[in-house]
Amino acid sequence: MTTVRDATLDVLRQCGMNRMFANPGSTEVPFLTDLPDDLEFVLGLHEGTVVGMATGYAIAAGKPALVVLHTTAGLGNAVGALATARVNRAPLVVLVGQQDRRHLAAEPFLAGRLQGLAGRYPVWEHQPVRPQDVPGAVRRAWHEAVQHRGPAIVVVPMDDWSAESDPALGSAGPVTLTRGRLEPGPAVDDVVRLLESAESPVLIVGAGADEPQAWAELVTLARGLGAPVWQEAFGARAGFPQDHPQFAGHLPSNRSGLRSVLAPHDVALVVGTGAFRQYAYEPGPLVSDGLTVAVISDDPDELHHSHADVAVLTDVAAACAAIAARLRPRPFTAAPRPAPELEPPRADERLLPTNVFAALAQRLPRDTVLVEETPSTRPDLHRWLPARAPRGFVSAAMGGLGFALPAAAGLRLGDPSRPVVAVLGDGSSLYAVQGLWSAARYACGVLYIVLNNGRYAIMDRLASDAGGKPPWPAFGEIDITELARSLNCPARRITSHTELISTFDDVLPGLSTRTEPLLLDISVAGDEAATQPGGTS
């Protein structure tokens, strides 16, 4: 007899989902027991870690990752990470276990009220009416995750797996569903006219342009347009080479700062993101009256929440190529941008985060994937470590912490050809520290750099700026080095500049072939001014 489980496993193979990320419970045992050898099980010790790893894997591999969660507890614990996956445009197929279908009406122990538990963050959510509909629902979830670039959820009662499949149904739905490119055609005519009439255009890029073809076309467009290029505020990925002479920096996340930066320009072309991402509310207009804004994205949600005069739903790379081909080239004179300089600390001085970034800047391979979760020092990280290749920078688009540590492991699993370095605050690292065990268990050679100041630096600064005293304590007594070692991840504690340089010179040359993770617990000064809002360090 061919079971629903057999048919579903065939669907997973056909869709290329041969690796699943999970933290199992009893409702998943019928599906997972005696898993065939061609399907790999990756264990995470918490559901946030599971989804974080899967998100990194999906970003790196460019295809949906499979997640298995345990009824209400599993899905509930994972909601924040699923929200991050949605905003990070990571395609996930999420199987959520449910109690036995035959007595669900009586609400037995572990029965979950699962529909809607993840809110509006899933791109699709379904519990099949019959067991025989499960394989088709899983295939549909794969297509939905690809099409809408986010998590698609299928709830499966535990007894469904042993039911006899319906060969007449097959797996239902098309085996192949190709997403055609949204060619720009005449849709960019208005954009071209705006740019041709502009006296001082500006180009703004976002995470939706973080792929090789889009980078190449944006460089050509920027040169032809003769315009400076800004990265969106709080960008989760880089939309343009940040060492390019025309790259101007990262937009401010407040209205007055945004207006000031854009004041010299009459037309702004926003590519691969919405217009414009902000943080704390500030009264006043978003942009000045004299600025016309055009937005190009292949994500309709980005267009609908944009402050824009013209919005075009189309393929980003194709649109940039079409626009560049029709524009008359303009000259561009890059303003001199001196490289940042920093004196090493004296022997009696504690390290600063910038000392760490400066040392990394001299040694990191160009193709390194840098994963960031250090809110209090993110501007310094951008200044010292610009993204120089597509997928050179990855962060949590949602702003919540707990993403970077497991995502770095997933990024390495999804593309073992590229070295991965995760830079974390000590507070950030503790949100998903269980991920170190998975990184070690599955030979993810990630270098984890924890900037340890023993407190929530950014939160302390925000409380001080508000004129108050924070009620939360410092937590310098936590030993992150020993915590990492207890999770089977090698770790070193670093307290001096000499140790820092020696360790980097030892570790970084072999980063691309490394299979064992390593955590560097770097003690940094805790009284420096925090410079970036949002989250904790």
CATH class of 185-326: alpha beta
- Is the pLDDT reported for residue 125 higher than 70? yes
Integer angstrom CA distances of residue 283 from 23, 274, 288, 464, 521: 45, 20, 13, 22, 41
Domain 4-162, CATH among 3.40.50.1970, 3.40.50.970, 3.40.50.720, 3.10.20.30: 3.40.50.970
Integer angstrom CA distances of residue 378 from 234, 288, 492: 9, 28, 23
Side chain identity at residue 488, one-letter code: N
Q: Is 81 helix (H, G, I), strand (E, B) or coil?
A: helix
Token output for 441: 């268990």
Rounded Cα–Cα distance for residues 162 and 144 (Å): 26
For range 334-339, the mean pLDDT: 72
pTM passes above 0.75? yes
At residue 532 the predicted structure's pLDDT band, cuts being 50, 70 and 90, is: very low
- Classify domain 353-523 by CATH number: 3.40.50.970
Helix (H) or strand (E) run with residue 522 in it: strand 518-523
CATH 3.40.50.1220 maps onto the chain at 185-326
CB count in 10 Å sphere of residue 435: 35
Rounded Cα–Cα distance for residues 26 and 43 (Å): 15
Rounded Cα–Cα distance for residues 394 and 387 (Å): 9
Rounded Cα–Cα distance for residues 54 and 150 (Å): 11
> For residue 16, what pLDDT is reported?
94
- Is the pLDDT reported for residue 470 higher than 60? yes
Q: Quickly tell me which residue has 């189309």 as its tokens.
A: 314
CATH 3.40.50.970 maps onto the chain at 4-162, 353-523
Rounded Cα–Cα distance for residues 329 and 336 (Å): 22
Give one word for 320, left, alpha or beta, with left for phi > 0 and alpha for psi -120 to 50.
alpha
Using only the alpha carbons of the chain, give its radius of gyration: 24
Model pLDDT for residues 227-274, shown as the tens digit of each residue: 999 999 999 999 999 999 999 999 999 999 999 999 999 999 999 999
> For residue 218, what pLDDT is reported?
97
For range 106-121, the mean pLDDT: 91
H-assigned helices in 174-273? 189-197, 212-225, 255-262
Residue pair 410/56 in contact (Cβ under 8 Å)? The answer is yes
Model pLDDT for residues 192-222, shown as the tens digit of each residue: 999 999 999 999 999 999 999 999 999 999 9
At residue 172 the predicted structure's pLDDT band, cuts being 50, 70 and 90, is: low
